[in-house]
Amino acid sequence: MADIRILSPQLANQIAAGEVVERPASVVKELLENAIDAGATQLTIDLEKSGIQLIRVLDNGSGIPKDQLSLALARHATSKIRASDDLFCIETLGFRGEALASISSVAKVNLTSLHHDADTAWQLISSPGDGEPSLQPAAHPIGTTVEVRDLFFNVPVRRKFLKSDSTEFNHIYDLVKRLALSHFHVGFKLKHNGKMVWQAPIADSVLAQEQRLASLLGATFLDNVIALELTVGDLALKGWLGLPTHARSQTDQQYFYVNHRAVRDKILNHAVRQAYQDVLYGQRQPVFVLYFQCDPSQVDVNVHPTKQEVRFRDSRLIHDFIASTLTEAIASLRPDVPRQEPTLTSSLAAEIAAANHALTTQAIEAVNTAPYATWIKPEQSQLAIQETLKAYDFLTGQNLSDSLSTAKPLIVADVPLDIELIPALGQALAQVHGIYILAQNTEGLVLIDMHAAHERIVYEQLKVALADKQIARQALLIPLSLALNVTEADLAEEQCAVLAEVGFIYERFSVDSLRITEIPQALSQNEAGPLLRDVCADLAVHGMSRRIQDVLLEKLGNFACRHSIHAHRLLTLVEMNVLLRTMEHTPRYGQCNHGRPTVVKISLSDLDKLFLRGR
């Protein structure tokens, strides 16, 4: 072994730069965060050759005093923390005090600044290997400009690992986009090779914020999201949540911020996935821009050099708050078929009633009962649901059709409908090829996939049963031995009471194994062992697990699919309206359990375009 020596400051800074400065986008990130921390409300980013040749960031922040300019390039020098206790309540984007020092070790840096209390601006010029930085007067408005030239000029190996100019620029643009989406009080200008690429003024109103969203995420983004906002104590969640039908193939429109810091966190990602678990099609990814606020002392942002990962003091509380908020928001989503005041005259309403009467004699009684909208009698609603649930409930060991009288119905069928309001899904007119229901509302036509819609209704009913009743268990004739590591076995022993509620009864058999005596009735013995092992692994990594619930929900979904109305079954108008009215009171009715849409709306204006009316 060679002799132990202290590294030179230059070499130490280059090693540190390996953590902080991965590519030009890393430099831009550090400079923009410093500018925002300095109170800037206008930022201009000027690039040449995707930042490899030049990165210039101009801000209108508070500026840096002359006597502190040289300290700005010193390692572990910062204005954002003073004592160790400050690390446990970080309210700024940057705080480590090593970014500029690392950047100046692998690039030529010019730092020009005018402090808001000073009369003269000063410029600090630094180049690795050229001795101490020089300081000279300069002309500059209040604020700071940082120029970074010839990135990695003295580390050619690192430069070889950079990608193409277009790839490096895209990384910078994505970074600017993330910051612009979380700091609406800041205006941005992004220039590349002398051309303006993107700019946005300060967004100090909801309309301006939506315009910024549209410019960054596309014009269709706002048409397919809902705004949400909830505050409970010190926890707050707001932002925009995408409709399940607007999901994408990639995660490129998923933005999550914790106290205005863009993060990628496993706990937060799991909470979002849980909320969308049974409304997305295939492997589609939801879109969202969400902002979570909490007491800074409850989150540790000092767990990764790039500060993109965080650790919560009470991760379970945070997870449950976010998951429940998003789940409720998604459950309340409705397709674009709003209830509206009818615009029909009494004579036109009578004509529509007469037309419905002529469609089928089976609809005569329904039309006469309500002049425009048919309401479903309690016994009709119960009978329609009973038909599809005459099957053995493998979760509770009971016949669902026998217990429907005591279960909470999905609709309040005995409340009379206010005929001044048109139902959201309208009035059923006919069945198309035994697959789709054709309905009419005040907006136009509504098409409903009857199997997909009924599948969601049955699935939600089963989910209610699952939540209200203890999971039925089956005893094993021969107990199952499950090998784990010691940590997983310890956690399983701690959580035995919780796992008993979802059907697993076991005891500690040895230091690294369990002895399982009962499993959920819905699972086979071959499924139970690996599932419990995965649950224990989740507990060891995340401190929580929903694998059992997710597996049971998947089985419920399959059950609902098999026992729902299938294609080519002919329905009467009364049965169609039973389905429509029940849908309107069913959570997440816009998608089936597999994420396929259940409802498609065709407005009158769309119909007019098809037939060239008004041209």
My answer on whether 523 and 459 are in the same domain is: no
Does the pLDDT at position 158 exceed 60?
yes
What would the pLDDT profile of 501-527 be if each residue is shown by its tens digit?
Answer: 888 899 999 998 999 999 988 788 888
- Asked whether the predicted pLDDT for residue 75 surpasses 80, the reply is no
Whether 3 maps to a domain, the answer reads no
Regarding whether 453 and 477 lie in a shared domain, the answer is no
Task: Note down the domain range covering 526.
Answer: 473-560
Instruction: Give the end of a domain, one of 147, 172, 200.
Output: 200
pLDDT over 70 (residue 292): yes
Looking at residue 124, the DSSP 8-state letter turns out to be E
Instruction: Determine the pLDDT at residue 409.
Output: 33
Q: Which helix (H) or strand (E) holds 560?
A: helix 547-562
**Do the Cβ atoms of 34 and 94 come closer than 8 Å?**
yes
Q: Pick 515 or 374 by higher pLDDT.
A: 515
| Count of domains forming the chain | 4
CA 598 – CA 436 distance, rounded (Å): 10
Q: What confidence score (pLDDT) does residue 595 get?
A: 86
Give pLDDT, residue 561.
Answer: 85
In the predicted structure, residue 462 carries a pLDDT above the cut 70? yes
Residue 1 lies in a domain: no
Of the candidates 559, 539, 343, which has an alpha carbon nearest to the alpha carbon of residue 444?
343
Mark whether 552 and 570 lie in a shared domain: no
Pairwise CA distance, residues 287 & 241, whole Å? 7
DSSP 526-538: HHHHHHHHHHHHH
CATH code, domain carrying 317? 3.30.230.10
pLDDT above 70 (res 545): yes
Non-local CB neighbours of 34 within 8 Å, separated by 6+ positions:
93, 94, 99, 100
CATH number at residue 435: 3.30.1540.20
| Helix, coil or strand: residue 134 | strand
The domain boundary residue, chosen from 169, 200, 231: 200
Instruction: Examine the domain organization and report whether 270 and 324 are in the same domain.
Output: yes
468: pLDDT confidence band, cut at 50, 70 and 90?
Answer: low
Q: Taking Cα atoms as reference points, which of 26, 311, 338, 313 lies closest to residue 161?
A: 26
Question: Who has greater pLDDT, 155 or 212?
Answer: 212
* 261 and 396 fall within a common domain: no
Q: Please give, one letter per residue, the 3-state secondary structure of 85-116.
A: HHHHCCCCCCCCCCHHHHHHCCCEEEEEEECC
Q: How confident is the model at residue 340 (pLDDT cuts 50, 70, 90)?
A: very low
**pLDDT score at 417:** 37
CA distance 303 to 309: 7
pLDDT in tens, 79-99: 777 777 767 778 888 766 678
Residue 341 lies in a domain: no
Please tell me the distance from the alpha carbon of residue 403 to that of residue 36, in angstroms, as a whole number: 60
Question: Does pLDDT of 342 surpass 70?
Answer: no
At residue 556, the pLDDT reads 80
For 365-375, what is the mean pLDDT? Answer: 31
Comparing 12-16, 79-83, 182-186, 317-321, which segment has the lowest mean pLDDT? 12-16
**Residues 421, 313 within the same domain:** no
Three-class SS string for 421-446?
CCCCCCEEEEEECCCEEEEEECCEEE
340 domain residue, yes or no: no
Same domain, 91 and 170: yes
- The bridge status of strand 288-293 relative to strand 254-258 is parallel
Q: Is 477 helix (H, G, I), strand (E, B) or coil?
A: strand
Percentage of the chain with pLDDT > 90? 41
In a domain, 4, yes or no: no
Shared domain for 73 and 20, answered yes or no, is yes
- The DSSP code for 84 is G
Phi and psi angles of residue 399, each rounded to the nearest 5 degrees, phi first? -85, 120
pLDDT of residue 56: 97
Summarize pLDDT for 564-613 with one digit per residue, the tens: 888 888 888 888 888 898 888 888 999 888 888 999 999 999 999 999 88
Over the stretch 394-423, which tens digit does the pLDDT of each residue have? 333 444 444 333 333 333 233 343 434 568
Query: Whole-model pTM?
Result: 0.74
Buried b (16+ CB within 10 A) or exposed e, 32-71: bbbbbbbebbbbbbbbeebbbbbbbbbbbbbbbebeebbe
Facing residues of 613 across strands?
none
Per-residue tokens: 570: 């002919």
Greater confidence (131 vs 492) lies with 492
CA-CA distances (angstroms) from residue 458 to 91, 139, 573, 583? 48, 72, 20, 10
- pLDDT score of 305: 64
CA distance 11 to 502: 57
**388 has a pLDDT exceeding 50:** no
Listed range (162-176, 289-303, 368-382) with the worst mean pLDDT: 368-382
- Considering the domain architecture, whether residues 459 and 483 belong to the same structural domain is answered as no
- For residues 209 and 201, give the distance between their C-alpha atoms in angstroms, rounded to a whole number: 10
Q: In whole angstroms, how large is the CA radius of gyration of the chain? A: 31
Q: What confidence score (pLDDT) does residue 397 get? A: 42
Distance CA 290, CA 213 (A): 12
The answer on pLDDT for 133 being more than 60 is: yes
% of the chain surpassing 70 pLDDT: 82
> Is the pLDDT confidence value at 316 over 90?
no
DSSP annotation string for 230-271: EEETTEEEEEEEE-GGG-BSSSTTEEEEETTEE---HHHHHH
27/167 same-domain check: yes
Buried b (16+ CB within 10 A) or exposed e, 573-584: bbbbbbbbbbbb
- The phi, psi pair for 123, rounded to 5°, reads -125, 135
Domain with 78 in it: what CATH number?
A: 3.30.565.10
- Residue type (1 letter), 74: A
Using the 8-state DSSP alphabet, how is residue 451 labeled? H
Are residues 191 and 261 both part of a single domain? no
What is the CB neighbour count within 10 angstroms for residue 563?
A: 18
One domain for residues 376 and 255: no
- The stretch 221-248 carries a mean pLDDT of 91
- Residue 208 vs residues 181, 184, 228: alpha-carbon distances, Å: 12, 9, 17
φ, ψ for residue 267 (rounded to 5)? -65, -45
Q: How confident is the model at residue 32 (pLDDT cuts 50, 70, 90)?
A: very high
Residue 380 is predicted with a pLDDT of 38
Between 547 and 268, the more confident residue is: 268
Amino acid at 199: Q
Angle (nearest 5°) at CA 441 between 440 and 445 = 45
Rounded to whole angstroms, what are the CA distances from 376 to 495, 569, 597? 46, 20, 24
Is residue 102, in this structure, part of any structural domain at all?
yes
Scan for tokens 């204005």, then name that residue: 79
On average, the pLDDT of the chain sits at 81
Give the helix/strand (H/E) hosting 149.
strand 143-149
pLDDT at position 306: 65
- How many C-beta neighbours within 10 Å does residue 341 have? 8
Residue 211 lies in a domain: no
Strand runs labelled E in 418-555 = 427-432, 436-441, 444-449, 473-483, 505-510, 513-520
477 assigned to some structural domain: yes
Higher pLDDT, 295 or 458: 295
